[in-house]
């Protein structure tokens, strides 16, 4: 017979297990929830929601709810076992666990407040560890001296803040059932007058694609046949520069045609931007941009996904906008249970910073980000291919999340596979860029639209870590490839310019004012439309 301390029978065991009251359940749930307060802040903060689609947020919220419930069950079972055993040593161990829980809660609140303890202690880790050790000893002495009063006070605090559990769980449930931000083409159709452009345009941005690394200093074993073919028949710029070296400022600059020097998230649906020439902060969704300008011309537009900005929420006058992830595409592991369980592990690692150092939080983090990045990529590709076959759409925009990390493709096996960080991973994703262009081209050729569509391929900024490859960085150096229908011979443009003129180029092409590569060069030389 297994020894269970003072329990004399199964009946007595069950009786003691049933002693847990609803009040204790509320305290345990509140304490567990407070341990993950930093995670709740990250996932429910309206600023952070700007960067996450609802589709991408759901697994994190599910994992967070499961973690809170799991820790709650552990607390309640621990309390039951302490009562079942009924020995002083069990209560002492319970006291140590209690102190650990409080420590985790304090640390979660500290990280939310962005208090860097090592900076407060002159940045010396030895002082940090020493003070920490002394603090733990003092805390233990205080706790065991006034244990009863401290526990009672803790229980009262947990009961007072129990409504926070209701608030976080309620908000999480609402976000999980909230529909994705996809605009119905039929609903928006009424605001367009249906004017057809001289030429339809496909504008593709590949995040972090670097002109120097992709073309000038490309390794011999990295082959990009689709890109090389495209630039051979296009207007190809050797010295194009993005408006900024970060996506948050570069994309608004490209959309508006004005240099943005500052950006700040207002809430989940809005970005505040500051133009260089006026210095005033304005709402990005309210100012003229390439989509409002094409709408005013009577053209129909489409956005094929999100890699950073929530385009569907920002610009509700786009004819069609999709943010769905590619969860039904071949080549991706669609195991949702594995995804949620790995996110749960990552959230637990973050409860205390040293756990991640000891147990490999970074590895799990890369895994989770890579899996989601695969789905985002596949969703954008699927949407682009679908839109490109629709002759009713006049401007199609796609912002792909490659070759930016995490690196999700193996160029040697031609399969989606999580890759290590570093230059080799970047080049794998760069080959995926080439494969992506090939898939889009073939889809448009099948629909008979490739030859009649102007194609623009560029990037929002360069690869900031290219120094890891060869010790060099070409700040803001990005590719700029523009293929016009009917042009058989490509042109190499050597002058320096900023891709901020892209919006004017698109309008000029759609209006029929730009018909050859000489016209492209002239518009760039004068800095925009007349």
pLDDT digits (tens, 9 = 90+) for 186-226: 444 435 456 788 899 999 999 999 999 999 999 999 999 99
Lowest mean pLDDT among 166-180, 328-342, 406-420: 328-342
Give me the pLDDT at residue 139, please.
64
Tell me the C-alpha distance between 24 and 19, whole Å.
10
| Percent of the chain at pLDDT exceeding 90 | 43
Listed residue (168, 187, 184, 166) closest to 176, CA to CA:
168
Q: What is the mean pLDDT of residues 367-386?
A: 84
Per-residue pLDDT at 499 exceeds 80: yes
3-state secondary structure 218-281: CCCCCCCHHHHHHHHCCEEEEEEECCCCCHHHHHHHHHHCCCEEEEEEEECCEEEEEECCCCCE
- Residues 94-141: pLDDT tens digits? 666 766 676 676 666 666 555 544 444 444 455 555 655 666 666 666
Q: What is the pLDDT of residue 343?
A: 83
Full-model pTM: 0.78
425-452 pLDDT per residue, tens: 999 999 999 999 999 999 999 999 999 9
Backbone angles phi, psi at 260, to 5 degrees: -100, 125
Q: Is 200 in contact with 394 (CB distance < 8 Å)? A: yes
pLDDT at 93 over 90: no
CA distance 26 to 16: 19
Between 522 and 351, the higher pLDDT residue: 522
Task: For residue 3, name the pLDDT band (cuts at 50, 70, 90).
Answer: very low
Half-sphere exposure at residue 169, Cβ-oriented, CA atoms within 13 angstroms: 15
In which element (H, E) is residue 345 found? helix 336-349
pLDDT of 250 above 80:
yes
Residues 17-39 have a mean pLDDT of 82
Q: At what angle do helices 54-85 and 336-349 cross, to 10 degrees?
A: 60
Q: What is the pLDDT of residue 367?
A: 65
Lowest mean pLDDT among 332-346, 360-374, 468-482: 360-374
Q: What is the pLDDT of residue 129?
A: 58
Q: Nearest-5° angle of CA 491, CA 492, CA 495?
A: 130
């Amino acid at each position: 017979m297994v020894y269970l301390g003072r329990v004399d029978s199964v009946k007595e065991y069950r009786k003691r297990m049933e002693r847990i009251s609803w009040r204790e359940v509320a305290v345990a749930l509140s304490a567990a929830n407070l341990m993950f307060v930093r995670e709740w802040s990250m996932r429910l903060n309206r600023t952070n929601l700007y960067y996450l689609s609802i589709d991408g947020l759901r697994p994190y919220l599910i994992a967070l709810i499961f973690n809170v419930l799991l820790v709650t069950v552990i607390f309640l079972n621990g309390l039951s076992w302490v009562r079942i055993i009924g020995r002083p040593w069990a209560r002492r161990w319970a006291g140590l666990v209690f102190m650990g829980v409080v420590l985790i809660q304090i640390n979660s609140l500290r990280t939310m407040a962005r208090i860097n303890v090592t900076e407060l202690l002159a940045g010396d880790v030895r002082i940090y560890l020493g003070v920490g050790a002394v603090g733990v000893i003092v805390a233990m002495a205080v706790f065991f001296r006034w244990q009863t009063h401290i526990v009672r006070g803790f229980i009262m605090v947990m009961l007072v803040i129990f409504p926070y559990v209701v608030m976080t769980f309620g908000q999480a449930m609402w976000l999980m059932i909230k529909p994705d931000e996809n605009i119905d083409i039929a609903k928006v159709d009424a605001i367009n007058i249906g004017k057809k452009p001289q030429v339809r345009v496909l504008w593709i941005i590949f995040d972090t694609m670097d002109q120097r690394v992709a073309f000038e200093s490309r390794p011999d074993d990295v082959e990009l046949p689709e890109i090389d073919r495209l630039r051979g028949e296009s207007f190809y710029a050797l010295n194009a520069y993005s408006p900024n070296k970060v996506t948050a400022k570069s994309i608004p600059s490209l959309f508006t045609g004005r240099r943005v020097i500052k950006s700040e998230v207002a809430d989940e649906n809005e970005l505040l931007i500051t133009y260089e020439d006026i210095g005033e902060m304005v709402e990005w969704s309210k100012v003229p941009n390439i989509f409002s300008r094409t709408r005013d011309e009577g053209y129909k537009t489409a956005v094929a996904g999100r890699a950073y900005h929530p385009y569907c929420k920002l610009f509700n006058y786009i004819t069609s906008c999709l943010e769905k992830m590619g969860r039904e595409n071949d080549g991706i592991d669609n195991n949702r249970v594995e995804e949620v369980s790995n996110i749960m592990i990552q959230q637990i690692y973050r409860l205390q910073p040293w756990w991640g150092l000891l147990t490999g939080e970074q590895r799990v983090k890369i895994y989770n980000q890579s899996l989601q990045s695969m789905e985002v990529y596949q969703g954008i590709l699927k949407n682009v291919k679908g839109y490109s076959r629709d002759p009713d759409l006049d401007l199609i925009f796609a912002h792909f999340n490659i070759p930016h990390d995490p690196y999700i493709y193996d160029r040697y096996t031609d399969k989606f596979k999580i890759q290590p960080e570093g230059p080799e991973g970047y080049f794998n994703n760069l080959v995926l860029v080439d494969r992506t262009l090939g898939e889009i081209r073939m889809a448009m050729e099948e629909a008979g639209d490739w030859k009649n569509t102007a194609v623009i391929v560029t990037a929002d900024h360069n690869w900031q870590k290219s120094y890891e490859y060869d010790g060099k960085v070409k700040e803001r150096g990005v590719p700029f490839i523009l293929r016009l229908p009917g042009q058989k011979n490509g042109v190499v443009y050597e002058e320096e310019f900023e891709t901020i003129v892209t919006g004017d180029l698109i309008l000029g092409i759609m209006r029929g004012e730009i018909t050859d590569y000489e016209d492209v060069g002239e518009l760039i030389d004068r800095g925009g439309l007349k």
